[in-house]
Chain A
Amino acid sequence: MATIDIHPQTSTHHHDDHAHEHEHHHGNFWTNYIFSEDHKVIAKQFLITGMAWALIGGILSVLFRLQLGFPDADLSWLKPILGGWLTPEGKIDPEFYLALVTMHGTIMVFFVLTAGLSGTFSNFLIPLQIGARDMASGFMNMLSYWFFFLSSVIMFTSLFISTGPASGGWVIYPPLSALPQAMQGSGLGMTLWLVAMAIFIASSLLGSINYITTVINMRTQGMSFTRLPLTIWAFFFTAIIGILSFPVLFAAALLLIFDRSFGTSFYLSDIYIGGEALPNQGGSPILFQHLFWFLGHPEVYIVLLPALGITSEIIATNSRKPIFGYKAMVGSMLFIAILSFVVWAHHMFVTGMNPFLGSIFTLLTLIIAVPSAVKIFNYVTTLWKGNIRFTAAMLFSIGLVSFFLTGGITGIFLGNSAIDIQLHDTYFVVAHFHLVMGSASFFGMVAGVYHWFPKMFGRMMDEKLGYIHFWLTFIGVYLVFFPMHYIGIAGFPRRYYSWTNFETFSGFADLNMLVSAAAILTLSAQFIFLFNFIYSIFRGKAAPANPWNATTLEWTTPRNPGHGNWPGEIPTVYRWPYDYSKPGAKEDFIPQHIPYSETPESNLPHENELIKLELNNSSITVESKDQKH
């Protein structure tokens, strides 16, 4: 299946399959929209849940930015929402501040950029772009969403309990997270955090297994691995990384649960707290950090790779050019995926880890910068001599490359252990990862929504609102995170409620105010998107089947693909997905399902030889022609 060999029988087989499915899929509201096993519906469920989380995560960040940017402001007007979390003077309680920071991180990293991004686009695009009727297991796919939903409910609930949600930072380092005596949030809030994350990991694994199986086994005829769109490659690598790394977080969380509830000492030793010496001895907090970052670093790429895949697709389509260096793009993603497992301890240079390990991880970390640089160069070269259409999706994709560049380059400082001593846990780190991972991935997600909205909902989003949304968000994000580099170079530590206790950190009230104002602007701009999204679902302009003149298979489906995606037979694939502006071609794109025999005017010499292989199977060629017209 993975090569160009074509079996005439399977076409009729597919046809049967499809007819068979049609009979059984006139379910009721519950089976069609709630407990649906259709990958497109599940994708939308992930998307809408992810958007709700993004909104919550964004609002939390504005709340703590209010404290940092306007430390003297009276926030009593927030009393109806925050209640007891405001001090009598109308300020945010310092412990609640930490809760806000923690939940913002957890929500954005896991619930928005892992589940919201991978869940939406892996589900939506894998079957559509590889030419499959659905995921390998629709049931597991449905379970994956509902585990995520359950996990979301538990995490959301934890925001409202009287002792507050988990507050020890999104990395939940013990002993702080293990000891309710250490802070309120390490009580019930932390328990709920751990339970929610355990369920989340189950959801993520169910999803990943499905993505991998589907990509390997269910590609349509002719869809060899070398003809996969880069989106699919990205989702494929992401799922593999997830399957290998999430179980380690599960183990870390499980041991933490044991330490918290059953008196074990995996992470605890020699602790005197609250006037009492605890009996735990022999554990190591460093062990937790190793386990956590063994997931935590690959997680960066779990978040980033899908976004890079999405933008590869969008940039090629809207530059009307093949993506430059397809093989190098796949190779660099493979290389990143492998290296992502051996760089984790660069988060731990100054945690008391053996310094020799620090040297090794410095070396490995800076190696990973090379494939990342290759990706940027390839994006820029794809733009070169293109014929660029600035759709909203394209704008956000260019924004992603810009963030990836700006934030990626500061990784060269942080990956170097000697330089990291000063920068570790300062705002420089905050600036770095928010640009390279947070904002870049978020832009990838938004770009994906603008680009595939027509296929998801059969309507177009409003482009002009998209432009306004882009420019406000793009400039807003830079205004939020760029100044943080200066604040970080000056040594300001992160997760500080206020800096006024220190003379050293007494400056930058102006920049902090600018950052907070920009954060409010950026959040507000997202409501334009939200409006555009909801409005367009119901009243957007009806979308043509292939609004962007793109080459990949999802655009060969009807305007509103039903269950099974293609009403007739699944198209056969004859070429790679980036035949844009091919010399001699009639139009500036040739979809993947067009055989070389139909495009003699634009074929390259080696492609003409492939025609013979196509002709060995004339029946299919004819059928796919029928379908196209």
Chain B
Amino acid sequence: MLTLILVLGVLLVLAILYFIFRIGNLVSLVKGKEEDEISSWNSTNAYLFMIFMIGGLVAFFWYSYAHFDGYNLPVASQHGELTDYLFWVTMAVTVVAFTIIFIVMFWFTFKYRYDKNRKAEFFADDHKLEIAWTVVPAIVLALLIFSGLRAWNDITDEASEDAVVIEVIGQQFLWTARYPGKDNLLGKHNYKMIDASNEFGLDLSEENTWDDFKSLELHLPKDKEVKLVIRAKDVLHSVFLPHFRVKMDAVPGMHTTFKFTVTKSTADMRSETGNPNFNYEMACTEICGRGHFSMRFPVFVHDSVEDYEKWLKSQDAWLKQNPDYLKQIPAEKREAAIVKAGIPADSKEAIMAAPVTVTLN
């Protein structure tokens, strides 16, 4: 019933509007003084453009200033400080250009509004002017480009030898991280070996995999270069660490990498933002399906490298957590694997006796 009344009400309003419009039209037909009316509306539009221009600029500058903390995300990585600097330099240059052109354009629309006593100026071209406004933007853009390219080349350069290597794997709809363990080498993986427990598809015949471990939280050291090795299991995902200004797609079938150095630990950031519950987060920025918006991966930055290493030591190797998979290791290598994975001596016997079984999907 309520819906019916609403629908009827809307129809009534529309009908009234239609009749107002119709009557307005008929009245103006009867009056028949079209010309004068056009010029009065013309001025109205010109004034509205001025109001729009001034109001728009005021709103723009006011909001940008007053709400700066709302949209400016604190930066916590070395290269991020550089890209932020470039961002704000570009912002300064473009806001100046934008404001000038915006004001000039709407000023012209206002100033040169129709006036029956005036004739427009026949001004078809002016080569000097045109060359000037081709060359000036070209120079400004060249300066912006070259500073940007230098930063880009540094950011995408090879990571240093002693960088901490961490693998990040995206899948619908969660992230996992794999740490290389004590040997600091990520072991081989093969997507055909993935199963319910071996979610990395670790190829356990290769010894570097034995001490690799899994983490459901990304732990990073402060002030030490980190190289993320990124891959995806199913569809495209994208690693996005907003505070570190890091973004790189995760692509099935290939590895992508991103190196960066974090400059503020989680604790530093908590005191800087005054938010005791602050946490770094990682998000997915490549559409990956239904749960795209929920791929949150918690990130924790340790206060020092020592602290970080202490955490590394406290983690169990994946193989230790899944000793059944020792079966996939050829018998003669099992002893070494058990040692490398740090599996306690008491469970050794049973595992050593089992036959080799490697299943490929």
Contact = CB atoms under 8 A, between A and B. Distances in A.
Given A272-B234, A413-B90, A582 B122 contact: yes
B240 A474 contact: no
Contacts of B261: none
Interface residues of A, number: 117
A390 B40 CA distance: 11
B145 A578 contact: no
B262 interface: no
Contact of B45 (A326, A395, A421, A578): A395
B86 A418 contact: yes
A322 B285 CA distance: 47
B56 interface: yes
Given A94-B291, A176-B287, A486-B63, A355 B153 contact: yes
B123 A321 contact: yes
A493 B285 contact: yes
Given A418-B86, A424-B285, A501-B293, A176 B236 contact: yes
A153 B278 CA distance: 51
A79 interface: no
B334 interface: no
Contacts of A284: 253-254
B313 interface: no
B42 interface: yes
A478 B38 CA distance: 27
A380 B101 contact: yes
B361 A277 contact: yes
A121 to B, nearest CB: 24
A271 to B, nearest CB: 5
A491 B133 CA distance: 34
A362 B152 contact: yes
Contacts of A497: 292-293
Contact of A499 (B201, B285, B287, B293): B293
A426 interface: yes
Interface residues of B, number: 112
Contacts of B120: 319-321, 385-387, 580-581, 588
A273 B289 contact: no
A467 to B, nearest CB: 6
B125 A324 contact: yes
A465 interface: yes
B294 A501 contact: yes
Contacts of A503: 277-279, 281
B42 A502 contact: no
A388 B144 contact: no
Contact of A491 (B102, B122, B130, B242): B242
B137 A369 contact: yes
A98 B292 CA distance: 10
B233 interface: yes
A482 interface: yes
A271 B144 CA distance: 40
A476 to B, nearest CB: 12
Contact of A322 (B48, B124, B245): B124
Contacts of B82: 418
Contacts of A491: 73, 240, 242
Interface in B115-149: 115, 118-126, 129-130, 133-134, 137-138, 141-142, 144-145, 148-149
A326 B125 contact: yes
B235 interface: yes
Contacts of A169: 287
A322 B151 contact: no
Nearest to B196: A275
Contact of B296 (A325, A351, A381, A502): A502
B290 A98 contact: yes
A508 interface: yes
B113 to A, nearest CB: 5
A179 interface: yes
A175 B149 contact: no
Given A277-B192, A325-B125, A390-B41, A419 B141 contact: no
A496 interface: yes
B191 A270 contact: yes
A39 to B, nearest CB: 31
Interface string B184-211: 0000000110101000010000000000
Interface string B214-243: 000000000000000000011110101011
A326 B104 contact: no
B123 A384 contact: yes
Interface string B266-304: 000000000001110101111111111110100000000
Interface stretch (A52-60, A207-215, A400-408, A436-444): A400-408
A462 B109 CA distance: 22
Interface string A173-193: 101100100110000000000
A374 interface: yes
A504 interface: yes
B141 A370 contact: yes
Given A352-B256, A385-B112, A388-B114, A421 B246 contact: yes
B148 to A, nearest CB: 4
Contacts of B242: 422, 491, 504
B191 to A, nearest CB: 4
A91 to B, nearest CB: 13
A286, A373, A426: most-surrounded residue (chain B CB, <10 A): A373
A23 interface: no
Contacts of A464: 24, 41
A388 B347 CA distance: 89
Contacts of A202: none
22 contacts: A175-B236, A277-B361, A282-B253, A320-B119, A350-B247, A359-B152, A366-B144, A373-B134, A379-B105, A384-B123, A387-B114, A388-B42, A389-B114, A418-B155, A419-B148, A422-B83, A424-B285, A486-B70, A486-B71, A491-B242, A493-B240, A495-B287
Interface of A: 94-95, 98, 168-169, 173, 175-176, 179, 182-183, 268-273, 275-277, 281-286, 319-322, 324-328, 350-352, 355, 358-359, 362-363, 366-367, 369-370, 373-374, 376-381, 383-390, 395, 398, 401-402, 405-406, 409-410, 412-413, 416-419, 421-422, 424-426, 462-465, 467, 471, 474-475, 478, 482, 486-487, 489-491, 493-499, 501-505, 507-508, 578, 580-583, 588
Given A281-B253, A363-B145, A489-B71, 13 more contacts: A175-B252, A320-B120, A326-B124, A376-B101, A389-B42, A390-B45, A409-B97, A416-B144, A417-B148, A419-B87, A422-B84, A425-B247, A504-B242
The 4 closest A-B pairs by CB, nearest first: A269-B253, A355-B156, A352-B256, A491-B242
